[in-house]
Amino acid sequence: MSSDTTHAQGQQHPISIYLWIWGWLFVLSAFSYTVDLLELQGLLRWSLILLFMFLKAGLIVAVFMHMMWERMAIILAILAPPGAILVLIALMALEGDYTFVTRLLYFHNPAALAE
């Protein structure tokens, strides 16, 4: 954690850092776009998309939203609660899958017939 913390006058950082991050966001977006252009499929595609997504999100939150210069108190207060969402995501993924499987097993499936 960097030590040039906040001060009554608010956040002061050299303009170059914003430009750098800006550039990185461009590059990362371009990468994600390339993933689609190259029509990568399967695990590679998902992991790359997620990787670029999290990098971008991290940069925005850390630098543009000044999170990396905030005090630990606020960082944790903001970053901890979304943990609940992770549980929801995990369980809903399982649930969606379960629903899909019962449908596949018992329901007439027009798409499968068409193939």
Partner 1 sequence: MAEVLPGTPGETPGVRGLVSDWASDQMAFKNVPWGKAMMWIFLLSDTFIFSCFLVSYMTVRMSTLEPWPPVSDVFALHMFGADIPLILIAIMTFILITSSGTMAMAVKFGYEKNKNVTFWLLIVTAILGASFVGMQAFEWTKLISEGVRPWGNPWGAPQFGAAFFMITGFHGTHVTFGVIFLLIIAWKVKRGDLDHERPGFLTGRKGRYEIVETLGLYWHFVDLVWVFIFAFFYLW
Partner 2 sequence: MAQTTHDQYPLIGPRELEEMELYHPKTWLGKYVFSQDAKVIAIQYSLTAIAIGVVALVLSVIMRLQLGFPNTFSFIDPSNYLQAVTMHGMIMVVYLLTALFLGGFGNYLIPLMVGARDMVFPYVNMLSYWIYLLAVLILVASFFVPGGATGAGWTLYPPQAVSPGTPGIDGGIILMLLSLCVFIVGFTMGGLNYVVTVLQARTRGMTLMRMPLTVWGIFMATVLALLAFPALLVSCIMMLLDRTLGTSFFMPAMQSLGDSTSYNGGSPILWQHLFWFFGHPEVYIVALPAFGIVSDLVATHARKNIFGYRMMVWAILAIGGLSFVVWAHHMYVSGMNPYFGFFFATTTLIIAVPTALKVYNWVLTLWRGNIRLNVPMLFAIGFIFTFINGGLTGLFLGNVTVDVPLSDTYFVVGHFHMVMAVSPILVIFGAIYHWYPKITGRMFNTALAKWHFWITFLGTYAIYYPMHYLGFAGVPRRYYAYGDTAFMSDSVQDVNVAITIAAIVVALGQLLFFYNMARSYFKGEEAGPNPWGATTLEWQTEHTPPRHGNFGEELPIVYRWAYDYGVPGARDDFIPQNVPPDDAHISHDSDRHPEIDPGHDPAGKEHD
Partner 3 sequence: MLAPGLFVWNDFVNVPEDAQEVEAIGQQWHWTYRFPGEDGEFGTVDARLLSDDNPFGMDPDDPRGRDDVLVDSNIVRLPVDKPVKLLLRSKDVLHNFTVAQFRVKMDLVPGLVSYLWFTPTRTGEFEVLCEELCGIGHHTMRGKVEVTEVDEFDSWLAEQATYEELVNTPDGDPEAGQQLYAVCSSCHGAQGQGNKNMNAPKLAGQEAWYMRRQLEYYRDGIRGAHEDDTYGQQMAAMVSTLQSDKAMRDVIAYIETFPDEPVASTISGNEQRGRQIYQVCGACHGWDGQGIQAVKAPRQAGMQDWYLVRQLENFKQGIRGSHPDDMYGHQMMQMASILSDEQAVKDVVAYINTLPQNGNSQLAMKRSEEQ
In order of 26, 45, 46, 49, the CA distances from 33 in angstroms are 10, 11, 13, 9
Q: Quick one: what does residue 106 bind among partner 1, partner 3, partner 2, none, with the CB cut-off 5 to 8 Å set by partner type?
A: partner 3
Q: Is 108 in the site for partner 3 (CB under 8 A)?
A: yes
Q: Among partner 3, partner 1, partner 2, none, what does residue 43 contact (CB within 5–8 Å per kind)?
A: none
Complete DSSP assignment for 39-89: T--HHHHHHHHHHHHHHHHHHIIIIIT-GGGS-HHHHHHHHSTHHHHHHHH
Residue 87 binding result from partner 1, partner 2, partner 3, none, given CB thresholds of 5 to 8 Å by partner type: partner 2
If binding is defined by CB under 8 A, does position 2 make contact with partner 3?
no
Residue 95 CB, shortest distance to partner 3, in Å, is 10
